[in-house]
Structure 1
Amino acid sequence: MKKPVLWGLGILIVLAIVGFTAGPWIYRECIAGEADAELTLPGQTEAATTDVNGTWTVVPGPDDDAKRTQAGYRVDEILRGSPLTVNGRTPKVTGEAVVAAEKLESATFTVDVASITSPESARDNQFRGEDILDTGKFPTAELRVTQPVDVAAVPETGAPVTLDVPVSLTVKGVARDVTAKVNVQRAGDTIVAAGSVPVTWTDFKVTPPDFAGFVTVEPTGTIEFLVNLAKQ
């Protein structure tokens, strides 16, 4: 009777060791998956067909996951000592921008953070919870331009230009003045803007989660966005 018991204990020990060592690989390869590529301009080279001045409204954009309007987060996790980048996104972005005399006079964009999803539903549920973004109480985030920005350098040819844009970012009801690095492109009758804002989560009363030491989230991350705008 002792041998079967010893064999059973041995098998349990082996399974425990395999689970401990292979767990991070399984999580990374089968659950978390690879992060999406960073949001960038679609690379179109069509020349602009309308004047830059006017009121521009966010539209869904092309029926292409890499080109449609969307926003979300990108963050690094530490998985048992190994780095892992994850991200979540939503296409639910609204807003408008006003350009006059080739200056961006105002712009406000609202993101439905409650609809942000990633490849892992457990992460999404944690993300929406009271301890992190508390989307039941704060379902949206906002990005608002705080100073006029000269856009005369954005050419009609469709070539992209990078602008440093002063904005107020509101997450979980907390507003912070930051600088967004935005790539802008005029193409046809649209304007496309892709950008990112580095953030420290605790600045917005967000505590980076720690899943029992198995997965820890870095204290900084990135808010990223891609918006297609059409003239009203």
Structure 2
Amino acid sequence: MGLRTRTKVIIGIATGVVVIGAAAVIAGPVIYANTVNGQAAAAPSLSAAPSGSGGALDQQQADGTWKSTGTSYAGYRVHEVLQGNDVEVVGRTKDVQGTATVDGGSLTKATVTVQVAKITTPESARDEYFRSTALQTDRYPTATFELTEPVDVSKALDGSTQDVTLTGTMDLHGVEEPVTADAQVAVTKTGSVQVVGSVPITFADFGVQAPSLGFVTVDGKGSVEFSLDLAK
């Protein structure tokens, strides 16, 4: 192996999504895995009041177009195995734009666009790989979910926490595929609407190859998570 080839291999590993970095080399994979797992954000959950004690909206208040506020966020959750140790990696961004239309107690339209290049984790090398190699964000800077079937959200508008299934399409890495999201909807006491949930995805469906470098393997499936705070 020549110097140029060795250099490319070293650089490729150093900038990969699964770089264990100096901490992993010095402290070992177990401590590294525990550190990353400790940094992983919890799955999105409703901050609105529990079922039956939240806010409520009458039809006039609810009908119309709602837009996401600056407290909304989205990102991904993936599972890695590092030398036999389970590692959960979570990336987040608040660079999210969402709109939703409510009509007569139903969510009739919804679109959520995420600036994928702005998603970050505590590991900058992983983020660089995610942007440049995995999702090629210079060519495909956004991911978009669009609702394709109306959803009854009348229970949430009446003041309860409501479980819903959001059926739509996901445009990711230049590929559009049908997806479903398990979500919860609730009205806050201040009259805003919160929607949280996740979309399970298989990377290969979107032309994304999950890395496998021998000492670490990334699952071929993950999830896109979201928490949307909506206001009129």
Query: Given the two structures, how large is their TM-score scaled by the length of structure 2?
Result: 0.82
2:20 — aligned with what? none
Residue 230 of structure 2 aligns to a residue in which SS?
strand
* Partner Cα distance (1:199, 1:162) in 2: 20
2:3 — aligned with what? none
Gaps of 5+ in 1: 1-18, 61-67
Letter in 2 for 1:149: V
Shift of 1:34: 3.1
Report whether the alignment pairs 1:224 with 2:232.
Answer: no
State, as a whole percentage, how many aligned pairs show the same letter.
Answer: 40
* Partner Cα distance (1:31, 1:165) in 2: 31
1:53 — aligned with what? 63
Letter in 1 for 2:55: A
* Partner Cα distance (1:33, 1:42) in 2: 22
* Partner Cα distance (1:82, 1:203) in 2: 26
* Partner Cα distance (2:161, 2:200) in 1: 21
| Regions of 4+ moved over 6 Å | none
Which has the larger helix fraction? Answer: 2
Root-mean-square deviation (CA), in Å?
1.9
Q: Cα deviation per residue 1:85-107 (whole Å; 9 max; x = unaligned)?
A: 11100000002111112111111
* Partner Cα distance (2:121, 2:221) in 1: 18
* Partner Cα distance (2:204, 2:219) in 1: 11
Q: 1:123 to 1:49 in 2, by over 3 A?
A: same
Query: Given the two structures, how large is their TM-score scaled by the length of structure 1?
Result: 0.82
Q: Cα deviation per residue 1:131-184 (whole Å; 9 max; x = unaligned)?
A: x10001101000100011122222432x31110111111110111111111100
Q: Name which one, 1 or 2, has greater alpha-carbon Rg.
A: 1
Shift of 1:30: 4.8
Q: 1:83 to 1:96 in 2, by over 3 A?
A: same
